[in-house]
Structure 1
Amino acid sequence: MKTFLNILYWFLIAVALIQFIPVDRTNKPVDPKVDFVKVFKTPQHITSVLRKACYDCHSNETVYPDYAYVAPISWSIKNHINEGREHLNFSEWGTYNKELKKGMLENSAADLKQNRMPLAGYVAQHPEARLTDAEKKRLVNYFEEILKSGNY
């Protein structure tokens, strides 16, 4: 029993100490001239779906939940956000070259069709991000329309 209490004591000390390791949760300012929804003058019904299911990980408008301030959970969340922004950042859409934009639109449509996005772990913590089949179809159609136009 003494060994267990000793382990528990040191574990709690370690958990307390790691809270002092900083995680940068600062969002870069959003330039409306390069933001996806502004560039395409995206209709409100599409914008609302993008914001509820995509923008937390794929934009510079992340809203961090309370649990994102507790290490080591905060490290994992920040890592997921960084990875999401690397694959697609709607806030920086206008800075990408045409080939990259095309690939991002194709990948986004494919991910939605194959239920890879939004991530199940994200939806579990944010039930409002769960997309209906109709919402997925709306997004896929919107991305495919942009692709067909060639004006991305």
Structure 2
Amino acid sequence: MKTNISAFVFFLFALFSYGTASAQHPNVKSPVTVKDIGTQLEIKYDISGLGNIRSTQATLTYDIHVETQCRNHGGNVAPGQSYDDDDHIDTFTIPVNNGRARGTYTTKAIVIDQSKADCPNGGWTAELADVTFSNVVFKIGGVQYYPPLP
């Protein structure tokens, strides 16, 4: 009886270990690309070797540098402040078909932090002048990709 239980436990361990290992061999079919589309970041991916699953979690991390300007009710524009906002993290689920995930993901639009724009007084409104993205990392299937920004 003890032998049967040990054999059964070993069988379960082997069964679950196989399923986990088979899903850990991601392979890039075409280069992961990133595109700055103004206040958003767009990433395109085509990765196979993800195993027999229907979906998987992906993570996109990035930093931003924001340039602002200030506008008053008369339409006058004054320079605002620039600020860095690091460690943005987007986690999302992507579909997997026959072990392959391919598609496009677009981040939410960057919204200006009024308190960091440092306009002259309450009569001025901060506006977004420019956003620069950096340190982009895309992670899927336990592998990190560092796609270059154009």
TM-score (norm 2): 0.30
Tell which structure's C-alpha radius of gyration is larger.
2
Structure with higher helix content: 1
Structure with higher strand content: 2
TM-score (norm 1): 0.30
